[in-house]
Chain A
Amino acid sequence: MGMLLLFVFFCSACNFPKDPNNSYKNAKKSSLRVGIVPNTDSITTSFEKNFVENFAKKEGMQTQFIVDNETELVKKLENYQLDIVLGGFEKDSNWKKKVGMTKPYDDKHVLFIPRGENRLLFHLEKFITKNKKQ
């Protein structure tokens, strides 16, 4: 058992954790699919859009934006048809059970990602840490 654990550890520590649905890898290959909820608070939305664009640029990803209502976008996120949804969401949002969240990029706002896509999350949070809005 211990040996097996060690084996697993050394084989995969380099690209840990992985995405069950390969969101990060696919985003690199084709493009990062981002859903935007048209929000009354356009300052937050445009900040988030800019933020994600910078992230994509840094990762060398193409981006593809879709604008739709929250329900539709979250549904698409659940089906892994989107990689990120932004719309000025806060960390105690009602969608908590259906989506994965990044840590806040300021003191309360988060981005939505598909649940369990931990590699994508890892890279997003790394970017958030470096570009935290004070």
Chain B
Amino acid sequence: MRNEAFELPEDLKEKLKKAKKLEWITIVYLSTVVILMYLVMGSSQAMKTAWLEDALSIIPAISFLIASRIYNRKPTQKFQYGFHRVFSIAFLTGSIALFGMGVFLLVDSTITLIKAEHPTIGTIVLFGKQIWMGWIMIAVLIYSSLPAMYLGYKKLPLAKKLHNKILYTDANAQKADYMTGFAAMAGILGLGMGWWWADASAALFISFSVLKDGYTNLKDAVQDLMDRKPVHIKDEKPDELVEKTERFVKSWEWVIDAKARFREEGQVYFGDVQVIAEPGIDLSQSIEEGLKKLQEFHWKIYDVTLMPVKEIKDYSEKQS
């Protein structure tokens, strides 16, 4: 049980600082993208879809920045476990937004396609030349994809190190942003070729990808809040740290057997370890020492209860 403010290990503090900086850059950059896209999108469904996707992708960055101001506060009278879960909430919020928008875009694009709406795209005069707006849209789409990809690549390793899901999701979505960009470009080029359906088809493709991301994240966020066993953010495989902790406790002299269970609270794990102790030892003393050792074991193993029992209750028999 801990009552101090949470502190990351030194090397990770630096990573978090870097991540915050990148998220600030992301917000500024995406704001310019959203404004530019709004100005040029005209009646193109693909542009509208890509625009909404980009507008939405500001949410993870904002919620990460808000959450990262709160998560490490000292536990209070009211919030006695601290504020770690604020990251899980931020993650849930972001994924609901993404999922909802995915549904909306899918329906909207399908209707556009069924109604066979022919998007009308006009022209603009730039430097005294008459230019089809489609070309401008494509230029803006390039501006919306390439820097986003770069930011995504920069954020990805930080997210893995920090075990921060919202940062990871954000980075991953941005890394894949070129897909949206290219799909929208293909739609606009198709329009230019006289295929009116190209635009709405591209929009449909993009909304599928938004919906897929939204669904995966939503599932993940709900499972985290349901206290699922901790998993790696990269591949959803169970984190071996739980087993390692269990082995670590078992290795103590006074412990005959032990069983650990943990849940994710944002970036860190909370949980309990049942222990069968050797008879005749000073139990309270041993547990105090054990807790201290666990605190130094790994930064992610943050808040642990050591529970002396006569018989271990195994809740992990069934795989599900």
Contacts and interface: CB of A to CB of B under 8 A. Distances in A.
A5 B132 CA distance: 17
Interface in B100-135: 117-123, 125, 130, 132, 134-135
A17 B121 CA distance: 9
B119 A12 contact: no
Contacts, number: 74
Contacts of B191: 17, 118
Interface stretch (B10-18, B182-190, B239-247, B284-292): B182-190
A118 B192 contact: yes
- Which of the four size classes fits the interface of chain A? 20 to 34
A16 interface: yes
A17 B120 contact: no
B112 to A, nearest CB: 12
B120 A126 contact: no
B193 interface: yes
A100 interface: yes
Interface in A119-134: 119, 121-122, 125-126, 129
A116 B186 contact: no
A121 to B, nearest CB: 6
B45 to A, nearest CB: 12
B132 A12 contact: no
B134 to A, nearest CB: 6
Most buried by B among A117, A118, A119, A126: A118
A18 B134 CA distance: 12
A102 B125 CA distance: 14
Interface in A77-134: 100-103, 113-119, 121-122, 125-126, 129
Given A5-B186, A101-B120, A126-B123, A118 B193 contact: no
A13 to B, nearest CB: 9
Interface in B121-168: 121-123, 125, 130, 132, 134-135
B123 A116 contact: no
A100 B121 CA distance: 9
A116 B192 contact: no
A14 to B, nearest CB: 11
A101 B122 CA distance: 8
Interface of B: 117-123, 125, 130, 132, 134-135, 182, 185-186, 189, 191-196
Identify the 10 closest CB pairs spanning chains A and B, nearest first: A116-B118, A18-B194, A100-B120, A17-B192, A20-B196, A115-B118, A125-B123, A16-B192, A126-B130, A20-B194
